[in-house]
């Protein structure tokens, strides 16, 4: 079979060398800088595991074209890649302003109105696109605009008019975002009319995950799940944690979701900056206790929108997200409108790999809890036993044969220092598993016997240069591969 170094270079076209393996998954947002076939293929080669379609921008025709490009590129390269469609959600914005904007002056009165018709704003008055907002806002509440750069405080509410005084002034321009950190927005729907239209579109299109913005409680998640319906079970829900109210309802939100995203943009506006790092850690730890994957997002390598190197603080931010236990780290503007998307992905993966080579990383992944969904099940026991056997026997790899990806997901809750490959007969399941920490998903047709399944998996390991003759491999499978039911078989195999 040749030397280990030679074997690393013997692999089917489109597969990733395990000398360059990264357990942390990379999510890249698609945009003008990354939507062509060549750009998508370049990002896949650089190491992207998940592509994000941001439905706050672009139209359906553009997203459909990008979706097709991603599916074609992943088929060509032989890797399972997931797609996340990110709904805009009930984002509140100010109405139109003069072309040059208006300047709010500290101490001056300022009125926000939800009453139509929409009119161009002035330095003393602006329209908001939230018709029922005035019923939620109370005197004393803060209202932030333009990512928190401007702040007004409510002094009185009369009908649709919210009367305020400017506390932090500055330039206010059209369509800037509005945040209300003190207000529970009971009047806003979790899905806006735009979201409803976008949801119908993406369900027909077919994506692995739908990201729900501005989640406040489990009822928001359950509303989306009801809209998705039983015919689209392949679409998992990622709840974006970006409001203080969500932190108060965190455990129930996690239980209703497939995964969590720590969306630090709006969260960092509604929380004071010093509270965001600990909120990030709390979300990740709570999600891991319930066996849900997590993504850390927003400005991770923001300077690389233009620069060719990250700042030291950005490198530390990515590293700390990995040490916090995040399954994935996300790029937004860096890949959607940045100057060099591929370089950013490569940089992020290098940082992740460096962290993953340390004892601190192994310790961070070793934390487990009996609250994990499936604890006590045969699947969970097989997953945990497989990882333990691999460590004790110094096996070269762990192979899970899984119909739905559940066993592979359970394995991510435990520390592992060998390659984990998840084989599945379902292309949809293989794409879903692309987000799972440390798991390489591989589509494999179903053999009719356990021995046939194991033979196919071990041959794949040899073909990919992961194992050679005589190596030990730990394998899990179903005793009857074509029957219903979960993983119930565990073997140690010598290749």
| Catalytic residue IDs | 52, 93, 240, 298
Q: How far, in Å, are 400, 405, 435 from residue 3 at the CA level?
A: 26, 33, 32
Q: Which residues contact 428 (CB under 8 A, 6 or more apart)?
A: 208, 234
d(CA 477, CA 10): 27
Per DSSP, which regions of 169-289 are E strands? 170-172, 177-179, 209-212, 236-241, 259-263
**CA–CA distance, 401 with 429 (Å, rounded to integer):** 11
- Whole-number Å distance between alpha carbons of 285 and 217: 18
Partners of 84 in the β-ladder = 52, 209
From its phi and psi, is residue 213 left (phi > 0), alpha (psi between -120 and 50) or beta?
beta
**Structure-token pair, residue 297:** 């997002």
Q: Which of 186, 172, 63 is nearest to 127 (CA)?
A: 172
Contact 437, 293 (CB under 8 A): yes
The C-alpha angle 167, 135, 226, rounded to 5 degrees, equals 115
DSSP one-letter string for 98-129: -TT-EEE-TT-EEEEE--SS----BTTEEEBS
The Cα–Cα gap between 190 and 239 comes to: 11
CB-based contact 462:495 (threshold 8 Å): yes
Q: Is 477 helix (H, G, I), strand (E, B) or coil?
A: strand
Q: What is the 3-state secondary structure (H, E, C) of 127-182?
A: EECCCCHHHCCCCCCEEEECCCCEEEEEEEEECCEEEEEEEECEEECCCCEEECCC
What is the chain's length? 495
**Burial environment of residue 107 by CB neighbours within 10 A (0 to 12, 13 to 18, 19 or more):** exposed
CA 435 to chain centre: 8
Q: Residue 243's closest CA among 280, 223, 206, 268?
A: 268
What DSSP element (H or E) covers 403? none
State the DSSP string of 322-354. HHHT-SEEEESHHHHT-S-HHHHHHHHHHHHHH
User: Nearest 10 degrees: CA dihedral of 480, 484, 489, 493?
Assistant: 60
């Amino acid at each position: 079979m040749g030397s280990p170094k030679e074997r690393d270079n013997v692999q089917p076209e489109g597969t990733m060398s395990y000398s360059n393996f990264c357990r942390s998954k990379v999510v890249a947002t698609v945009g003008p800088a990354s939507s062509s076939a060549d750009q998508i293929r370049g990002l896949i080669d650089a190491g992207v595991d998940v592509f994000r379609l941001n439905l706050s921008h672009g139209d359906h025709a553009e997203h459909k074209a990008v979706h097709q490009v991603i599916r074609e590129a992943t088929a060509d390269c032989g890797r399972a890649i997931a797609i996340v469609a990110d709904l805009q959600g009930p984002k509140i914005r100010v109405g139109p302003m003069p072309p040059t904007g208006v300047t709010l002056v500290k101490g001056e009165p300022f009125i926000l109105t939800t009453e139509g018709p929409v009119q161009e704003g002035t330095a003393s008055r602006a329209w908001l696109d939230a018709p029922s907002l005035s019923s939620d806002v109370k005197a004393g509440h803060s209202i932030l605009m333009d990512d928190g750069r401007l702040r007004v405080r409510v002094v009185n509410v009369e009908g649709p008019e919210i009367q305020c005084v400017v506390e932090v002034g500055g330039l206010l321009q059209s369509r800037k975002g509005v945040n209300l950190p003190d207000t529970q927005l009971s009047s806003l729907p979790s899905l806006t009319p735009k979201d409803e239209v976008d949801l119908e579109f993406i369900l027909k299109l077919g994506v692995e995950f739908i990201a729900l913005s501005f989640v406040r409680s489990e009822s928001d998640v359950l509303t989306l799940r009801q809209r998705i319906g039983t015919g689209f079970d392949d679409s998992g829900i990622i709840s974006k944690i970006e409001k203080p109210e969500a932190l108060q309802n965190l455990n129930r939100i996690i239980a209703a979701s497939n995964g969590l995203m720590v969306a630090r943009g709006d969260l960092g506006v509604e929380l004071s900056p010093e509270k965001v790092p600990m909120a990030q850690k709390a979300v990740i730890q709570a999600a891991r206790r319930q066996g849900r994957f997590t993504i850390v997002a927003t400005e991770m390598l923001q300077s690389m929108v233009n620069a060719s190197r990250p700042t030291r603080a950005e490198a530390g931010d990515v590293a700390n997200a990995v040490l916090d236990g995040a399954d994935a780290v996300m790029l937004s503007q860096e890949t959607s409108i940045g100057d060099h998307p591929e370089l950013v992905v490569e940089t992020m993966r290098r940082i992740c790999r460096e962290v993953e080579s340390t004892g601190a990383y192994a310790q961070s992944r070793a934390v487990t809890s009996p609250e994990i969904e499936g604890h006590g099940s045969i699947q969970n026991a097989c997953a945990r036993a497989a990882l333990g056997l691999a460590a004790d026997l110094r096996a070269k790899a762990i192979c899970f044969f899984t119909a739905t990806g559940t066993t592979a997901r359970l394995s991510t809750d435990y520390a592992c220092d060998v390659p984990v490959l998840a084989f599945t007969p379902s292309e949809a399941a293989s794409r879903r598993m692309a987000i799972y920490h440390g798991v390489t998903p591989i589509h494999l047709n179903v053999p009719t016997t356990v021995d046939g399944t194991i033979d196919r998996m071990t041959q794949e390991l040899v073909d990919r240069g992961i194992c050679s003759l005589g190596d030990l491999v730990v394998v899990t499978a179903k005793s009857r591969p074509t029957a219903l039911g979960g993983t119930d078989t565990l073997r140690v195999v010598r290749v």
